[in-house]
A = this chain, B = another copy of it.
Amino acid sequence: MPASRPSPERKSRRAYHHGNLRQALLAQALRTIHEDGVDALTLRDVGARLRVSRTALYRHFSNKKALLSAVATEGFREFRLALSDAWDKAGRGRAGFEAQGLAYVRFARENPSHYRVMFGGALREDGCDTDLDRESTGAFRVLVDAIAELQRAGNTRPEPPELLALVAWSGVHGLAMLAIDGQLERPGVVIDDVLRFHVARLADALGIRA
């Protein structure tokens, strides 16, 4: 650690309003998106809520898209933890696979706006955000690793785990999108039953037995 710096917390409190403005900006963006949706997110509002100039943000993010990219990155991090947690807590195996699927959809339904930002399309447009790439790959790998483990035990189809994982990922992704679009709310259907049926079919499709 550095030896002697002039006690930052005293003087800077009024001069520079935030010790960690970047983190505060990101947290506020997440809060606004969660509460009011992504359309309500304006850089001016974020600044105002943090008692900071409208342009202070540009010291930490090159533009609005970069902020949204950071929001998506954080989303994939939470996502990865949720999937990994579900897999472990359900005791792995086929039950773990299905629990992961349900955890996937649960995250999307609890954070619909955040989820939409993660899969919005601000992603791959131009110069790819390496942090975002790394985190989204990390979340996907939780699923690939789970399937690879099942496969080593001889409990799946023989194709490469990445290919099998893609089928499962697409299935829950599509299901999550339909769920947050409200297209699963039809008369006479119980959503939780649909979700359970769906992940069981995905497990079948991959030949998951144990």
Identical chains in the assembly: 2
A163 within 8 A of B: yes
9 closest A-B pairs (Cβ-Cβ)? A174-B174, A170-B174, A173-B174, A205-B205, A170-B175, A201-B205, A124-B182, A171-B171, A167-B201
Contacts of A172 in B (CB 8 A): 170, 174
Closest approach, in angstroms, between the C-beta of A168 and any C-beta of chain B? 9
Q: How far is the CA of A197 from the CA of B166 in the complex (A)?
A: 10
Contacts of A206 in B (CB 8 A): 201
- A167-201 CB contact bits vs B (8 Å, 1 = yes)? 10111111111101111101001000010011001
A148 within 8 A of B: no
Q: How far is the CA of A181 from the CA of B122 in the complex (A)?
A: 9
User: Of B163, B174, B198, which one neighbours A194 at CB under 8 angstroms?
Assistant: B163
A121 within 8 A of B: yes
A–B Cβ pairs within 8 angstroms, 22 of them: A119-B177, A121-B180, A121-B181, A123-B181, A123-B182, A124-B182, A124-B183, A163-B189, A163-B197, A166-B175, A166-B184, A167-B198, A169-B178, A170-B174, A170-B178, A173-B174, A173-B177, A174-B174, A174-B175, A201-B206, A204-B205, A205-B205
The reply to whether B177 and A171 contact each other, CB–CB distance below 8 Å, is: no
Contacts of A180 in B (CB 8 A): 121
Q: How far is the CA of A175 from the CA of B136 in the complex (A)?
A: 16
Q: How far is the CA of A182 from the CA of B122 in the complex (A)?
A: 12
The reply to whether B173 and A167 contact each other, CB–CB distance below 8 Å, is: no
Closest approach, in angstroms, between the C-beta of A172 and any C-beta of chain B? 7
A159 within 8 A of B: yes
| A128 (CB) vs chain B CBs: closest residue | B182
A77 within 8 A of B: no
A202 within 8 A of B: yes
Contacts of A175 in B (CB 8 A): 166, 170, 174
A116 within 8 A of B: yes
